[in-house]
Chain A
Amino acid sequence: LAKTTQPISMDSYEGQEVNITCSHNNIATNDYITWYQQFPSQGPRFIIQGYKTKVTNEVASLFIPADRKSSTLSLPRVSLSDTAVYYCLVGDYILTGGGNKLTFGTGTQLKVEL
């Protein structure tokens, strides 16, 4: 099972770019890399997902090197409202009936200040 490791916390200032790196040395050939965001007192929210190279959407970019043993979530020009916990995860295995079993670790607490 692929296990992920990411920093416990990070601090940044408004307007800066934030990069959160996650390692997943045992990632399987079929695994996708997924990032979620969680605000206090809310459920996690899907941000972005990728398999290799670079993926970009309106919220973030995801960089995945060729060996796929790590990935980096990039948040451009963060604001106070980006203060949240960010989870990096891979699908553990395909559940009965479809969909992947996801294992959420403790994530990275990002704090954005003025």
Chain B
Amino acid sequence: DVKVTQSSRYLVKRTGEKVFLECVQDMDHENMFWYRQDPGLGLRLIYFSYDVKMKEKGDIPEGYSVSREKKERFSLILESASTNQTSMYLCASSPRLAGPASNEQFFGPGTRLTVL
């Protein structure tokens, strides 16, 4: 089974702190994603990466950056955390299967981040 793990289930940080959220997958997937999930808004894509050191912005990249130095690891960075970044953060991965049928992504358990 594909396993996607995230470094923390719960995290509490203060406004202005630099925050790192780590994600690791063990299935040699090329694609990795970071989403945030908020009540009433569904899941929104922050950033994704399709290869090592490659990244592209999703729908809501402002206030975030990412790093992918190794294929299995994708990090989300909040340079200066703010209260409006309090959310559930979900990491996902998928193999590189170009085409309309490539809709299966494997999600981690999520990190609930609270910024005070």
Contact (Cβ within 8 A) A97 B31:
yes
Contact of B102 with A by CB under 8 A: yes
Contact of A34 with B by CB under 8 A: yes
- For A46, the closest partner residue in chain B by CB is B104
Contact (Cβ within 8 A) A32 B90:
no
Q: How many residues of B contact A (CB 8 A)?
A: 38
Contact of B74 with A by CB under 8 A: no
- For B93, the closest partner residue in chain A by CB is A99
Contact of A26 with B by CB under 8 A: no
Chain A residue numbers with a CB within 8 Å of B51 are 97
Q: Which of A42-59 contact B (CB under 8 A)?
A: 42-46, 49, 51
Whole-angstrom distance between the Cβ of B77 and the nearest chain A Cβ? 20
The stretch of A11-19, A73-81, A103-111 in contact with B is A103-111
| Known A-B contacts A43-B4, A104-B42, A104-B43; A98 and B101 likewise in contact (beta carbons under 8 Å) | no
Contact (Cβ within 8 A) B103 A91:
yes
Contact of A10 with B by CB under 8 A: no
Contact (Cβ within 8 A) A102 B50:
no
By secondary structure, the A interface counts as: loop
Query: Which one of A34, A91, A97, A103 lies within 8 Å of B96 (CB-CB)?
Result: A97
Q: Interface digits, B38-58 against A, CB 8 Å rule (1 contact, 0 not)? A: 001111110010110010101
Extra inter-chain contacts (8) besides given A49-B104, A90-B103, A99-B94, CB under 8 Å = A97-B31, A97-B96, A98-B96, A99-B97, A100-B103, A101-B45, A101-B58, A104-B43
Chain A interface (Cβ < 8 Å from any Cβ of B): 30-32, 34, 41-46, 49, 51, 87, 89-91, 94-107
List 27 A-B residue pairs with CB atoms under 8 Å apart, sorted by A's residue number.
Answer: A32-B101, A34-B103, A42-B107, A43-B110, A44-B43, A44-B107, A45-B107, A49-B101, A91-B102, A94-B98, A95-B31, A95-B48, A95-B56, A97-B50, A97-B51, A97-B54, A97-B96, A98-B99, A99-B30, A99-B31, A99-B94, A99-B96, A100-B103, A101-B58, A104-B44, A105-B42, A106-B42
